[in-house]
A and B are shown apart, each in its own frame.
Chain A
Amino acid sequence: MRYLPLNTNDRAQMLSVIGVDSIDDLFETVPKEARLEGLIDLPTHQTEQMVERFFQKLSNKSTPAGSVPFFCGAGAYKHHIPATVDHLIQRSEFLTAYTPYQPEISQGTLQTLFEFQTQVALLTGMDVANASMYDGSTACAEAVVMAHRVARGKKSKAILAPGLHPHYAAATQTLASTLSIKIDERECRMGRDDNVIDHIDDDTACVVVQSPNVFGEIVDLRPIAEKAHAHKALLIAVFTEPVALAAITPPGEQGADIVVGEGQGLGVGLAFGGPHVGLFACRQKLVRQMPGRVCGETVDANGDRGFVLTLSTREQHIRREKATSNICTNSGLCCLAFTIHMSLLGDAGIQRLATLNHENACHLADVLDGIEGVKVENETFFNEFTVRLSKPAADVVKSLADKGVIGGVPLSRLTPEGDPNLLLVCATETSSEEDIAAFETALKEVLS
């Protein structure tokens, strides 16, 4: 077996050093009735070439986003990732390192995390950020749990805005289901985010608002923040597309107390939904209630600047049942990808990237709006928006796929109660004029 360095000779010598006769002796503490004889009924070992062939066949059975006109967003975004990013994250020293528990020999990972935290804080307009969560949805759920902790059990309500991605709402429901906090979820509908203001009261621990929301509409967070703060509730701002934050007023400038979102759009591929990277930022005064790992600056014995994991008294390996979260492994390598992509972009690059995304989406909106049976529903948007179709969106998407166009996400895919005729579409810098023209042609045919 190519991955196993020991040979029969080594094994025999080692057994004799240990002082046992056979490998079975080392499994003697296993109860007899649980010891397996022989091999488990699965295929035996295969060569690299055989395994590669197996996966190549399966890979060919899926349609990659880059191979067709492609317009899905709704929480995962198709962007161009510079070759430098994937090369660097495959360096052994990054790829095959563990969590940086020994800072003297982990400065590569640690400094990157410090840069990552700073970039996330800048992009969101917040004071501090952690070293990542699993993804945007789990970051959202953890933010609600954090708000509950900040309220010290004195407030029992968390309000979710109607434009929150239904999967984020569901993940939050799941995590909060065991707490004394009640989730007050508004029905997922367009254009109603402002309504949350009417529901904020003294019993509200937090209000969770996504902007741009799942329909693509950009929400003014300021009045919501004002009302929330008047009732000592926290505003948790959510985003699913990090590139959007380069184009719109960051949630930190609009009064958000916690900002959570998905970082996949920068540096991380679609990967059928994972791994992605959850971003988590908050106000300085809340930092000790934050979940997850945090990297901080310090000095070494020579007085040189270095970085360490810090504030670990919040975490499970120290605090056990009193920890702020049970999270241990996070999305380390995806943070690295995010950070490298951001370093390549810089301010000028990310603003240009955002502009190109927005322009392509505007062009797509104009084109789709001109088709009979299609109406753009948004007043504002960044790179994704919602259209109302004259037919059920799920059927339309299926027919489009048969024509070689992946034409967006039906709202009903995200939530069965969703309006069946609404379709969420997205354009990025990767959407060419030809792609948009092909979408137009196919959609006209499907709707006629």
Chain B
Amino acid sequence: MKTEGRTTTPVAANMNSIQTVSGSKALDQATQLIFETGTPRRTGIDFPEPKGRPSRLGAHARQGEIGLPGLSEPETLRHYVRLSQKNYAIDLGVYPLGSCTMKHNPRLNEKIARMPGFADVHPLQPVSTAQGALEVMSVLSHWLMTLCNMPAVALTPKAGAHGELCGMMAIRARLDHDGASHKRRVLVPESAHGTNPATAVQCGFTVDEIPANQGGRVDMDVLRAKLAGQGKESDVAGIMLTNPNTCGLFESDIIEIAELIHAAGGYFYCDGANFNALVGRVRPGDLGVDAMHINLHKTFSTPHGGGGPGSGPTVLSEALKDHAPVPYVIKTDDGFDLVENPDEKSFGRMCAFHGNMGMYTRALSYMMSHGSDGLKQATEDAVLNANYVQASLSDVMTTAFEGTCMHEALFDDRFLKDTGVETLDFAKAMIDEGYHPMTMYFPLVVHGAMLIEPTESESKGELDRFILSMRSLAVRAKSGDVESFKQAPIYAPMRRLDETLAARKPVLRWTPPADVAEAAE
């Protein structure tokens, strides 16, 4: 490049506060809402002319405009590409959200999910014309049942919480079938995901919380006391337990917990959100589990997509399998068939069709790519990465519990005591370092929780850089530099947002500015 006569070094060192006329900041483009840029008459799709046939809508034809703005194709592309650039993503950097399992999403799986024999098949077309799709469901079921050592799986639940509903509905159906309808109390550890108590209540159970012990695990004395002396007459329907739990710890007493629950005539629901710490090394069926959902969008890498879709197939024990929901796939002499109508024992139907096929293909592709050896290695690497992070930070941050962890490392905010910096500030400062913050303030059993789940997808080099950033932030927090933490983030597309204002005066949709609305009237 020709630089003759021109300066090649920046002149001003502190010009990052200038206001641009456009509102953009170089690559960070200002983006209005489509309602402010589009117009109802513009469209980005060409259609043939209608033939003018008489309408058969009767007296119900819509009158007037809907008010939906349209954009041409290039405008649409630009609008959403600009928006996309305001998002953090696993493809961009470390996304260590504990319990959420942000791992690599292989693009082979996207290609496979879009094959027309899966993507362009109607759920109600004749089963003879959907054999390939049904076979995928059958093979996926085999993999899930084998990895879990469980005799059945209900594929239809559409996300983890929907899987919880499936498992708890099956438990309720079994209890009712056995004439044990007095059993309506469900034990839930206080470290549980919020979905667990919400699900239990949605299924008509009451929730009885179990505290954690000093080691972050179920307090066995409390559990025994809750079940003592009543045998199967107890009103306990079961327990909902996450394993490894949300502190990243394996529930070492889990076999005894299952035995105690079974002795009380109850059933063991395992929240499988953290199954990625176990695949290939531990099978839930060997632990006495009666039902467990598997988040295909966590453990088996189907993309999170900014909040979904997910998929929550739920494995069921011998005791519960007859109560599974419809539909499900069976193998016949001619191939595969669907059972779509529930018998007396099935608790019914959870959703319109056969669950999230698009996630089945992706998850099975992921499993087959890894194979039994790769899946085990992935589990081990996930656990190794979490422990490496924990070991590398434990001298500058405070680990919540003694000893090694499983797939995620839990810190509390004791290391920030008296610094004026809170977990939230620490998280926002991570954004400026180029990282997505870890899960914060969850689980509720420790103060100012920071739950870090690096997953197996991070290289050692990437982890080392992450650790260096975290260490330097911890040191800076302790050095008394509160102000920079309170200001953070300063390099993100937006500064801290006022969430209180959003909740107090909810603006949940765009409405035309008052003067335009008046002019239109």
Contact = CB atoms under 8 A, between A and B. Distances in A.
B272 interface: no
B264 interface: no
- Chain B: number of interface residues, binned into ranges: 35 or more
A310 B503 contact: yes
A90 interface: yes
A272 B140 CA distance: 15
B308 A333 contact: yes
A299 B121 CA distance: 44
Given A93-B84, A167-B352, A359 B50 contact: yes
A296 B306 CA distance: 16
B353 A4 contact: no
A349 B73 CA distance: 12
A94 B84 contact: yes
Contact of B68 (A137, A345, A355): A345
B131 A41 contact: no
B186 to A, nearest CB: 10
Interface residues of A, number: 208
B42 A121 contact: no
B372 A173 contact: no
B517 interface: no
Contact of B348 (A173, A276, A296): A173
Contacts, number: 718
Given A97-B304, A345-B44, A105 B492 contact: yes
B308 A406 contact: no
Contacts of B83: 107-108, 111-112
Given A6-B459, A398-B128, A269 B47 contact: no
Contacts of B442: 317
Interface string A53-67: 011111111111111
Contact of A326 (B58, B202, B489, B498): B202
Contact of B508 (A34, A117, A122, A378): A117
Given A15-B384, A302-B495, A336-B305, A42 B143 contact: yes
B400 interface: no
B216 to A, nearest CB: 11
Contact of B80 (A270, A325, A340): A340
A78 B122 contact: yes
Given A62-B131, A349-B45, A365-B56, A138 B87 contact: no
A172 B392 CA distance: 50
Contacts of A321: 197-198, 200-201, 207
Interface in B328-371: 340-341, 347-359, 361, 365, 367-371
Contacts of B51: 359
Interface stretch (A127-135, A155-163, A197-205, A439-447): A127-135
A295 interface: yes
B397 to A, nearest CB: 15
B146 interface: yes
B446 interface: no
B105 interface: yes
Contact of A31 (B252, B406, B437): B252
A409 B459 CA distance: 51
Interface stretch (A184-192, A229-237, A241-249): A241-249
Interface in A278-300: 287, 293-300
Contacts of A51: 108, 112, 365, 368-369
B351 A65 contact: no
A102 B50 contact: no
Given A26-B384, A249-B62, A296-B508, A76 B123 contact: yes
Q: Which of A276, A332, A340, A346 gathers the greatest number of chain B CB atoms within 10 Å? A: A346
A396 B295 CA distance: 40
A178 B489 CA distance: 46
Nearest to A404: B129
Given A132-B308, A321-B201, A380 B56 contact: yes
A300 B498 CA distance: 6
A196 interface: no
Contact of B510 (A1, A118, A308): A118
Contacts of A313: 503
B73 A334 contact: no
B344 to A, nearest CB: 14
Given A55-B112, A273-B123, A247 B194 contact: no
A151 interface: no
Contacts of A351: 66
A40 B44 contact: no
B169 interface: yes
Q: Which of A250, A301, A329 gathers the greatest number of chain B CB atoms within 10 Å? A: A329
Contact of A117 (B118, B130, B509): B509
A272 to B, nearest CB: 4
B383 interface: yes
A56 B427 CA distance: 44
B303 A96 contact: yes
B87 A44 contact: no
B70 interface: yes
A104 interface: yes
A124 B254 CA distance: 49
Contacts of B508: 114, 117, 128-129, 287, 294-297, 310
Contacts of B368: 43, 46, 51, 54
Contact of A363 (B53, B106, B112, B498): B53
B40 interface: yes
A234 B205 CA distance: 26
A160 to B, nearest CB: 14
Interface in A198-222: 218, 220
B509 A118 contact: yes
B197 A248 contact: no
A379 B510 contact: no
A301 to B, nearest CB: 4
Given A76-B124, A179-B204, A406-B126, A349 B132 contact: no
B181 to A, nearest CB: 11
A138 B115 contact: no
A421 interface: no
Interface in B13-42: 31, 33-35, 38-42
A271 B357 contact: yes
B461 to A, nearest CB: 8
A162 to B, nearest CB: 18
Nearest to B50: A355
Interface string B128-144: 11111101100000010
Interface stretch (B3-11, B314-322, B373-381, B473-481): B373-381
B143 to A, nearest CB: 6
A1 B40 contact: no
A300 B355 CA distance: 39
Contacts of A121: 509
Nearest to B430: A102
A329 B131 contact: no
B91 A406 contact: no
Contacts of A437: none
B179 interface: no
Interface string A71-114: 01011101000101011111111111111111111111101101
B229 to A, nearest CB: 26
Given A35-B282, A52-B111, 9 more contacts: A30-B250, A52-B112, A96-B89, A104-B428, A246-B66, A249-B63, A315-B194, A317-B442, A343-B34
7 contacts: A43-B372, A62-B132, A76-B353, A104-B492, A296-B503, A345-B43, A350-B66
Closest 4 pairs (CB-CB, A-B): A346-B70, A273-B353, A333-B305, A59-B117
